Amino acid sequence: MNEAKGTALITGASSGIGAIYADRLARQGYDLILVARNADKLGRVAKTIQEQTGRKVETVAADLGDARDLRAVEDRLSGDAGITMLVNNAGIGSTAQTLEADVDAMSAMVSLNVNALMRLSYAAVPAFAGRGRGTIVNIASIVAVAPEVLNGVYGGTKAFVLAFSQNLRHELAATGVQIQVVLPGATATDFWDIAGTPVEHLPGEIVMRADDLVDAALAGLAREEFATIPGLHDESRWEVFEAARQAMAGELSTSMPAARYRTLEGAAS
Ligand code: NAP
């Protein structure tokens, strides 16, 4: 076991953003556990990283939409004291509009993007908190705050990732566990083919290279940021948004309906 950094478990590490996280974290000194369905692709990613960095890289072929496979990864997270980082990256999207989307595909998306991420976090949190050390990186999306952009269920799953991460950061503030949520914009990976719109159909100026995205996200982690939005150049936009949300939070629950609703009731009687 690598005592300095420990082991990072990365889901969705067979391609795209996850495979680059694997490369970068190995270069930072982490040993790796790489999780995805495609064992051959995982094996190729692992071999390259092992050769280039000399780090220990293990692969786990698992379908995180399958309860039994998911449980095996949960057990690994809760039982392996060498794991110091969880990168919840595996996810699928859709560009289908509500009237044309297949509801079973939507359910499968919720299962992976929401249920698997939640269960893996629940496996890691007690272990990390108990040791007073650990990092959870949750890959959301800009659609978490801009759900009009793509498929609505996809936006909903990523809004879950953001909200869940906000709560984890709040609850775990005193435990030594670091929580980061990453909100990528359009990123050049296989995601787009699988989601139904090839990335080449998007305007080049809104698409980031996957290695730039991951390097920026890791720079945000090193800055101990909570929310990292690599494509957002004006950081104050997020700060204003977040300040408005927090200012409103204390006013949302009261014993009396607001005056604008009481006016209607009064007019009727
Ligand atoms: P990608 O290249 O398609 O990678 C997705 C990864 O998830 C693959 O390694 C895939 O491997 C794995 N995966 C898919 N279904 C799985 C399942 N049922 N069980 C286990 N692993 C599964 O796409 P990406 O862009 O790197 O996506 C990574 C994350 O970034 C996702 O959460 C996505 O929502 C988010 N994101 C992407 C973009 C973008 O524009 N690309 C923007 C915002 C957010 P296998 O097929 O081998 O299982």
The answer as to whether 65 is a domain residue is yes
Q: Which residues on adjacent β-strands are paired with residue 268? A: none
Contact 2, 30 (CB under 8 A): yes
Q: So what's the pLDDT on residue 144?
A: 98
The answer as to whether 94 is a domain residue is yes
Q: Which backbone phi and psi does 185 adopt, to 5 degrees?
A: -85, -165
How many Cα atoms sit within 13 Å of 68 on the Cβ side?
0
The answer as to whether 21 is a domain residue is yes
3: confidence class by pLDDT, cuts 50, 70, 90: low
206: left (phi over 0), alpha (psi -120 to 50) or beta: alpha
The answer as to whether 209 is a domain residue is yes
Q: Which backbone phi and psi does 148 adopt, to 5 degrees?
A: -75, -15
To the nearest whole number, what is the mean pLDDT of the chain?
96
Ligand 1 center to residue 42 CA distance, Å? 13
Q: So what's the pLDDT on residue 4?
A: 86
Tokens of 222: 């090193």
Residue 244 belongs to a domain with what CATH number?
Answer: 3.40.50.720
Structure-derived torsion over alpha carbons of residues 124, 129, 133, 136, reported in degrees to the nearest 10: 40
Ligand 1 center to residue 24 CA distance, Å? 17
Tokens of 45: 């990613």
Based on the residue annotation, tell me whether 21 is a catalytic residue of this protein.
no
Q: How many domains does the chain have?
A: 1
| Ligand 1 pocket residue status of 89, Cβ below 6 Å | yes
How distant, in Å, are the alpha carbons of 25, 127, 168, 169, 173 from that of 176?
Answer: 20, 12, 12, 10, 7
Q: What percent of the chain has pLDDT over 90?
A: 96
132: confidence class by pLDDT, cuts 50, 70, 90: very high
The answer as to whether 131 is a domain residue is yes
- Span 133-146, pLDDT tens digits: 999 999 999 999 99
The answer as to whether 267 is a domain residue is no
Ligand 1 center to residue 89 CA distance, Å? 7
Which residue among 15, 73, 197 is best mutated to probe the pocket of ligand 1, counting the most ligand atoms within 8 A of its Cβ? Answer: 15
CA distance 197 to 205: 17
87: confidence class by pLDDT, cuts 50, 70, 90: very high
Which domain range does residue 42 map to? 7-261
Q: Considering 21, 30, 122, 154, which one is annotated as catalytic?
A: 154
The answer as to whether 142 is a domain residue is yes
The string of DSSP letters for 22-43 reads HHHHHHTT-EEEEEES-HHHHH
Compute the 3-state secondary structure of the chain and give helix, strand, coil in percent, each to the nearest 5.
50, 15, 35
The answer as to whether 268 is a domain residue is no
269 pLDDT above the threshold of 60: no
Tokens of 123: 């496996």
| Ligand 1 pocket residue status of 184, Cβ below 6 Å | yes
Ligand 1 center to residue 169 CA distance, Å? 24
Choose among 230, 232, 231: nearest CA to 241: 232
- Element holding 83 (H helix, E strand): strand 83-88
Which atom of ligand 1 is nearest the CA belonging to 182? 44
CB atoms within 10 A of CB 55: 21
